[in-house]
Amino acid sequence: MFATRTSSFASCLLKFLRPALSLRMSTTVVAEESPGLPQKRPHEDGEDKEAEGDIQGKKPRSDFQRIKRRKYAVLICYSGQGYLGLQRNPGMKTVEEDLLKAWLEAGVITDEAFANAKAVEFQRAARTDKGVSAVRQILSAKLPLEVNVDEVNRNLPEQIRMVALKRATKGFNCKGNADARTYSYMMPSFALSSKDDPISPDFRITKETIDRTNEVLSIYLGTHNYHNFTSKKSFSDPSANRYIMKMTCDEPVVCEGMEFVTIYVKGQSFMLHQIRKMVGLAIAVVRGCCSESVITKAWAEEKLDIPIAPGLGLVLEEVHYDRYNQRYGSDGMHEAIEWSSVQPTLDEFKHKFILTSIVKTEKEENSMISWLETLPMHTFDIRKAHRQHALIAENGGNEDEAEEDATKEKDDDSCTTGKSDSGDISKTNGVTLENTSKIEEHSGEAKS
């Protein structure tokens, strides 16, 4: 009986210890297979880890992540002829599209960054539109520590050049850190001749006309509301206020038998069409098509009919970084964003690809002559649609009464307007002023 109880107790004890003995034997076998080495758990194996990464949504590090990159300020220059502007636009021929392709081919950026430039924090300082050129356009982006500029240029058309780049701070933004932009507008000097004189390529401007032009341009200096000098901006929009620091007309130069003058304007920033409308209105004042009071009137709330000069002669000359340079330019780690060391290269490019192109195109297409012929079509007064809207508001929303007031106002204007040299107060060059649609846009403009 005692033997039976002992056997039963041993059987129960063995049953209880069997799982522990089995686990110990298993561990011993694994240790013997790889003596002296730390053992991996099954999920630490390469294939299992990859599968786990897929489950968690983790991706392997890309080439972009492995390459050390730093923020740079990049200097480029280009002629805008044949391009639909600077900014990348799918399916369109733009300067940025060609530049990013060249960066990709030169190994500066990856396919991922080419498809989405935000991956390298790409930014432009000033957005130029169709046909507009730039001598010192600045870009900012995170680029490799070593960039072969010559290799980039080998992949670019000759009218676009990457000139230089400088190491910038981590948070540098070429648009946000800019203090001001300087543009130039090159045009035939006959644009400033009197409206009573025939338009001729043989015209030569006088010192008195240059002085008068600078007097008119000085009216723009300071901060004013430029809602009338752009599109889709209301008078109440704070962003319509812009600060103009300098605006002058330079001495004339003769190119291929035609005399040209250049207007330089420096401002904190500019809106779509703003510079071309400023130049267009200044030309109208100097020629005697309207009084200079129209300029100050344009800063008021009413919408005026203001001409927009051709886009051909508009050039981005420089982007200024005075405050940035003062703070970081001499800290020992970064460089001042200025380009005096490459000035000869920039001058050569400007003459060969920008100024020559402007002169050649002007002589072939006569864009300024064509535009001057449309200048008398402008009223330089309140736009008809805006006037009608104001009259409706004054009459409590009654459109019939507003129409009667508009007709009466039109008749009153006809009775009080002085006659022109031709003796016809309602027509100029055979075009009825009141019924002529306003001439607005013939080509592109800088945006910034």
Structure tokens at 38: 């730390």
pLDDT at 332: 83
Residue 394 pLDDT class (50, 70, 90 cuts): very low
Question: Which range is least confidently modeled, 174-183, 248-257, 391-400?
Answer: 391-400
Strand (E) positions, 67-220?
A: 69-78, 123-124, 133-144, 160-167, 180-188
Distance CA 354, CA 81 (A): 9
Residue 296 pLDDT class (50, 70, 90 cuts): very high
| Residue that is written with structure tokens 């990348």 in the block | 88
Amino acid identity of residue 382, one-letter, is I
Residue 415 pLDDT class (50, 70, 90 cuts): very low
How does the average pLDDT of the chain come out, rounded?
81
pLDDT at 433: 30
- Would the pLDDT of 305 be above 80? yes
The total of other beta-carbon atoms located within 10 Å of residue 337's CB is: 24
- Would the pLDDT of 413 be above 60? no
Structure tokens at 347: 């001058």
Distance CA 51, CA 98 (A): 40
Give residue-wise pLDDT tens across range 158-192: 999 999 999 999 999 999 999 999 999 999 999 99
Q: Residues 170-202, buried b or exposed e (16+ Cβ, 10 A)?
A: eebbbbebbebbbbbbbbbbbbbbeeeeeeeee
Residue 330 pLDDT class (50, 70, 90 cuts): confident
Q: Give the max Cα distance, the chain.
A: 146
**Pairing status of strand 133-144 against strand 160-167:** unpaired
Percent of the chain with pLDDT over 70: 71
Q: Report the DSSP beta bridge partners of residue 138.
A: 75
pLDDT at 430: 33
pLDDT at 383: 84
- Domain annotation for the chain: domains and CATH numbers: 63-167 (3.30.70.580), 180-326+340-377 (3.30.70.660)
Contact 114, 51 (CB under 8 A): no
- Mean per-residue pLDDT for 204-219? 98
Catalytic member of 63, 98, 129, 413? 129
65 or 184: which leads in pLDDT: 184
pLDDT at 403: 44
412 flagged as catalytic:
no
Q: By three-state DSSP, how is residue 253 classified?
A: strand
Percent of the chain with pLDDT over 90: 68
pLDDT at 333: 84
- Would the pLDDT of 442 be above 60? no
Question: Which range is least confidently modeled, 29-38, 73-82, 121-130?
Answer: 29-38
Residue 15 pLDDT class (50, 70, 90 cuts): low
Distance CA 417, CA 423 (A): 11
Question: Which range is least confidently modeled, 28-32, 93-97, 401-405?
Answer: 28-32
Judged by phi (left if over 0) then psi (alpha if -120 to 50, else beta), residue 139 lies in beta
Residue 226, marked binder: no
Distance CA 355, CA 393 (A): 50
pLDDT at 365: 95
